[in-house]
Amino acid sequence: MLSLNKTYRAPPQSGEVILGRTLPELLDEACVRSVNSQALNNWTETGWKPFSNQAFRSAALELALFLLDLHLEKGERVALLMHSDINFCIADMGSLLAGLVNAPIDLTQTIEHIIFILRQTEAKVLIISNLDLLHQIIPYLVNVPNLKTVIVTDVPVDWKQNLKIGRYGLHSQVPTSPDLCLSIPQFLLQSTIEQSATEQSFSEIPQCIQLFSLDEVCTTGKVLTSETSLQQLLSKLSANDLATIIYIPGVSGEPHGVMLTHENLSANAIAMFTGIPDMGLGAQEVVLSFLPLTHVFARVLLYGHINYGHSIYFSNPNRIVKHLKDVKPTIFATIPLFLEKVYSKLLLTEAKKERKNEPKKRISTQAFSTILQWSLKLAQKYEIGKQPQGQYALMLMLASLLVFQKWRSFFGGRLKYLICGGAALKGEIANFFAAAGIMIFQGYGLTETSSAVTCNRGRFNRAGTVGVPVAGVEIAIADDGEILTKSPYITQGYYKNPEATQQLIDTDGWLHTGDLGEFTNDGFLKIIGLKKSRFKLSTGKYVTPQPIENKLKKSSLVKNAVTLGSERKFCAMLIFPNLEKLSQYALSIGIDLPTDDLLKHPCIIGLYQALVDEANCHLPHWSTVKKFQLINADLTVNNGMLTLTQEVNRAKVTEVFAKEINSFYQDSFSLGTRSGNKDKFDDICPEVPQFLCPAYAQSLNS
């Protein structure tokens, strides 16, 4: 039994708990309460293309009616392999309105994980963004016998006329029919694909997968639309219906599907939004969205914005800096990595700008440098939650006029709510931006909790913390420091994985987050470490270290391996070689050196690089090890780096090798990078093995 001495809940008047709502009801309510002609906006080469929330609702209804016309039954699954734009919103809301369960698939996943998800969910329909994405996965659809229909959202006007069997495996079901069909057997005969995909007999392969464009789908759905069709569909939905299955990395390497209901997501969105003071309705708030909607953080925020009728502009990481200036959002959600980059950029470029404009402004480089340094020191002294007083308040006002207003202009100049989630943000960065009038609301949550468990908002905001509980959330700290939570927002469990579900949620209903935390005296949660092995990069991506570590340890040359990268930009690794086996190998190729020199020799680095490359195969690109270092040390129970059960004590390893770990994230690091210098290795060490990862085991090219 757990000893829970105290539980924490949301402060009074910091959000509302409203249960019993389905996700399509959030949109339906907005179409009455907050009519907005520019509710959704897609970027195109000719500018922004707007959708009203009523047009969005109509498109979702048309898709829903089309899907039901395919004789899909309530609860059947629809997979989404899509970019984060208006079409994703239509596919998501349309499938939900039809009473179906959707499974959004991260575009950075490996092709084999995509096929795993399609198979496990037994998806009958796949909605995909474009023909290029479809072409990449066509060869592997041989292993997805339940798939009957593919809908492509973005296609050229003359796409049917230009399709060739040799490229896409497409043809008309009958010569005079305009309908296209993915003929998998015919495609397999004309294509070179992985051998495993051809092992099935043609009798087991779907003979034809129907193929439609989204325009065709909506045209058909419009014919089926009636005045009462929307209300009929809404009446058939229940807040307790399963809405979505979101896949995250599992310990074994296979993804785990997190099951979330309509109420899980809608109630979490409402609790968050009602907790943010003075948030406007309709076009009063302008949102710039660039985070992937396949992740729960961005998706729950989307539902909140839809319900409030906000103007949402969909961007992407390549255009986000330009679009911040163009759109001038009042609300912007991001991840810590972006803010860290902005923080560094502001410090490095301000002086350069002033030097360039010095003759015009008649300010010497030295004078501006003094002003900048003075402003930086003011910002670094700022503390969220404490009202500036006296002379310090006056100096902040002056710094705002001279320097801080330029920082605010980076975000468009009218930002009211800067929401940061997905990973931890350093307290000094939060304070720094707050001093410049850019208040950051840092939050904490899991996919399994429908996003937010806690968040900073309004007067409940402290740098270095992840805030106070969201309305409806109960939090306890277990004896070992693990954060436990209960709420109406927690998952129903992992799809088709009762064992993992039992480990996640105990018999008393507490969800075990795997994170270690503590509450400050004034009730703010701080994340202080990890109990679980799974961690998040500063990009917000989950990484499960066991698969790659276990693969490496299969080599006789590796005694232990520890993956790193929590709250960092990428994964790195400490490799602890089996020195006896390594020495034997080195002597066999004519290398006889002391151990420390041996571990730096190009041939040995190349040898372990090949092992890392092989272990990286089958992993999404963001979870692969980018850098590594060979370490002359042992992990033992006596030195605290192994537990009594022989598991790696990651916290202790991180502490002992802090210097080596920090060096991975410095530009000067050179040993054991993935790119390496293979030509050099080939010249010096002809026996260094090479490994080529097959296409299906690599990330999708999105």
CA dist 568 to 424, 633, 670, Å? 10, 24, 18
Could you tell me which residues come within 8 angstroms of residue 527 by beta carbon, excluding any fewer than 6 positions away?
Answer: 424, 444, 466, 483, 515, 516, 517
Beta-carbon contacts of residue 530 (< 8 Å; ≥ 6 apart): 514, 515, 516, 566, 650, 651
Residue finishing a domain among 535, 562, 577: 535
> How far apart are the C-alpha atoms of 537 and 539, rounded to whole Å?
5
- Cβ count near 365 (within 10 Å): 12
Q: What is the pLDDT of residue 163?
A: 57
User: Is 274 part of any domain?
Assistant: no
- Cβ pair 266, 24 in contact under 8 A: no
CATH number at residue 451: 2.30.38.10
CA atoms within 13 A on the CB side of 74: 9
Is 124 domain-assigned? yes
Q: If DSSP states are collapsed to H, E and C, what string results for 237-287?
A: CCCCCEEEEEEECCCCCCCEEEEEEHHHHHHHHHHHHHCCCCCCCHHHCEE
Please report, for residues 253, 423, 567, 671, the alpha-carbon distance to residue 527 in angstroms, rounded to integers and kept in the order given. 26, 10, 12, 32
CB 497 within 8 A of CB 556: no
Note whether 210 and 181 are within 8 A (CB).
Answer: yes
Residue with tokens 């959202």: 153
pLDDT digits (tens, 9 = 90+) for 662-699: 999 987 666 555 444 444 555 567 666 677 899 999 99
Same domain, 643 and 681: yes
Residue 570 — very low, low, confident or very high, per pLDDT cuts 50/70/90? very high
Q: Are residues 226 and 109 in the same domain?
A: yes
Kindly state whether residues 319 and 444 are assigned to the same domain. no
Could you give the number of structural domains in the chain?
3
What CA–CA distance (Å, rounded) separates 641 from 655? Answer: 10
Tell whether 498 and 619 lie within a shared domain. no
Residues 6+ apart with CB under 8 A from 342: 410
Residue 331 pairs in a beta bridge with 287, 417
| 264, part of any domain | no
Question: What's the farthest any 2 CA atoms get from each other in the chain?
Answer: 83
Tell me, yes or no, whether 321 and 341 share the same domain: no
Q: To which residue do tokens 């605290």 refer?
A: 640
Report the chain's mean pLDDT, rounded to a whole number. 88
155 in the same domain as 48 = yes
Whether residues 312 and 358 share a domain: the answer is no
Q: What is the pLDDT of residues 101-158, one digit of tens each?
A: 999 999 999 999 999 999 999 999 999 999 899 989 988 888 898 999 999 999 988 7
Q: Where are the alpha helices (DSSP H) in 122-261?
A: 131-137, 159-162, 165-168, 184-190, 214-224, 229-236
563: CATH: 3.30.300.30
Q: Give domain status of residue 463, yes or no.
A: yes
- 310 domain residue, yes or no: yes
**Other Cβ atoms closer than 10 A to 645:** 6
456 and 475 within one domain: yes
Distance CA 326, CA 329 (A): 9
**Residues of the chain with pLDDT > 90: what percent?**
67
**421 vs 221, 310, 416, 453, CA distance in Å?**
37, 20, 16, 11
Do 323 and 339 lie in one domain? The reply is no
pLDDT, tens digit (0-9, with 9 covering 90-100), for 192-246: 444 444 344 333 445 578 889 999 999 999 999 998 999 999 999 999 999 999 9
Give the pLDDT score at 496. 97
- 17, part of any domain: no
Instruction: From 535, 566, 593, give the residue that closes a domain.
Output: 535
Task: Check whether residue 35 and residue 132 sit in a common domain.
Answer: yes
Percent above pLDDT 70 for the chain: 87
Integer Cα distance of 133 and 82 in angstroms: 9
Residue 417: strand pairing partners: 331
Verify that 470 and 563 share a domain, yes or no.
no
In a domain, 250, yes or no: no
Residue 18 lies in a domain: no
Distance (Å, whole) CA 367 – CA 13:
47
pLDDT at 324: 97
Length of the chain: 702
- Domain hosting 212: range is 23-237+286-327
pLDDT over threshold 50, residue 96: yes
Cα–Cα distance for residue pair 526/228, rounded to 1 Å: 50
Residue 133, domain CATH: 3.40.50.12780
Q: Are 109 and 620 in contact (CB under 8 A)?
A: yes
pLDDT digits (tens, 9 = 90+) for 343-385: 887 776 554 554 455 444 444 667 767 887 888 888 888 888 8
Same domain, 322 and 436: no
Query: In this structure, which amino acid lies at residue 285?
Result: E
Domain boundary among 308, 327, 346: 327
At 576-633, the pLDDT tens digits run 999 999 999 999 888 999 999 999 999 999 999 999 999 999 999 999 999 999 999 9
pLDDT of residue 55: 97
| 404 DSSP β-pair partners | none
